[in-house]
Structure 1
Amino acid sequence: MAQDDEKTRIDNDGLRYKSKAPGSPFGGKGAFVSGTMSCLLCGKHRPRSMLKGKQVLGKTQMVCAPSCKELDEILAAAKP
């Protein structure tokens, strides 16, 4: 248990994790480099080309196009 506490201790320089691998699971550095966004409705990360803008409470939010269910079916059929 003492080792787990050591890994999550906040250092003086502000770093918290000593054993965490650097980077993002979505690749790239900076905003919008990887080209993926999460759908507002289903929460899955999709390439921007598979999303469309939809007005929700006066703001444009990205959602799956044509719909979350249809897109899942299309992607499942495309897998070998």
Structure 2
Amino acid sequence: MTTPAHRIAFGDQLRRLRQEHGWASQEAFAHHAGLDRTYISLIERGRRNPTLDVIVRLAHALEVQPADLLTTLE
């Protein structure tokens, strides 16, 4: 199965924002967000489709608006 482009774009945006906000480690960020590191990895690679609740949780952990995670989606 081909990974949808919007999942890849979302994962790339999450990775970029995570790193820009000083979270070099997926593990440390996942702990901060209350999620599993493997789940963060799967989202960043476009292999998981996060729910709205998870998007809001990620945004709060990054101290950004949920829409900031979606800005690269067409």
TM-score with structure 1 setting the length? 0.22
Structure number with greater CO (CA < 8 Å, separation at least 6) is 2
Higher helix proportion (structure 1 or 2): 2
Normalising by structure 2, we get a TM-score of 0.23
